[in-house]
Structure 1
């Protein structure tokens, strides 16, 4: 299987920058209706995943729930490091499947670690559904 066939390219992915504010992250999740989005560093590398839980804990630690107070913290200070690791564009199927079993999307990076897109769990399921249907028709 070619990961590129299943991948949503970066240009079509909702993501946040690591130096964006927590408020900007919250607004991005809300605008797109997602529970998590990739975080990209200034050099274009994958920095992690911002989740609703990260935002909730940032609000709890801040002690205030108003949006204005969330402008003082950066996303890179609230994301959990090491969660949702990326795969390389040339990753084997078993690595992609293992990651997809643990997370809704799998970030994909090139050989320099630059974020190039995501593969969603649903894309993998549809891929295998199509193979199954074709083999029985």
Structure 2
């Protein structure tokens, strides 16, 4: 099955742009209760993933006050790990292993533009459906 069948489209996913300030990123993550969030450039290309830990360590290491987070771009924040992305034509079976190491899998079109995500929950639901189908075939 193609990932499109389980895709949460970009319009329904919270993300940030790589020119956002640290404060904007923190606020968006707080509103949506995300531990990590996709980063896009203004062309819509997937740049990486920003986590709460990335922000926390940067703020701690640079002893930033809240007002200073309004002037620092997320571009200066070192990211511990970017979520691995997959192209649109990927099969669900091929992303199961990737999803064991990250909360979501960004999906890109043929030009590298971000079109949405597949969550672990989506993958679990897919696997449950596959198990039921296999049981019915027995």
1:38 maps to 38
Q: Which runs of 5+ in 1 are unaligned?
A: none
Structure 1 runs (4+) deviating above 6 angstroms are none
Question: Cα distance 1:94–1:131, how it changes in 2: closer, same or farther (>3 A)?
Answer: closer
Q: Which runs of 5+ in 2 are unaligned?
A: none
Distance in 2 (alpha carbons) for counterparts of 1:18 and 1:35: 17
Contact conserved, 1:48 with 1:79, CA < 8 A, in 2?
no
- In the TM superposition, residue 82 of structure 1 has moved relative to its aligned partner by 5.9
Name the SS of the counterpart of 1:49 in structure 2.
strand
Distance in 2 (alpha carbons) for counterparts of 1:44 and 1:50: 16
1:115 maps to 114
- In the TM superposition, residue 18 of structure 1 has moved relative to its aligned partner by 0.5
1:5 equivalenced with 2:5 (yes/no):
yes
Distance in 1 (alpha carbons) for counterparts of 2:28 and 2:124: 26
1:49 maps to 49
Contact conserved, 1:49 with 1:79, CA < 8 A, in 2?
no
Count of equivalent residues: 136
Distance in 2 (alpha carbons) for counterparts of 1:95 and 1:82: 20
**RMSD of Structure 2 on Structure 1 (CA):** 1.7
1:23 maps to 23
Single out whichever of 101-110 and 88-97 deviates more from structure 2.
Answer: 88-97
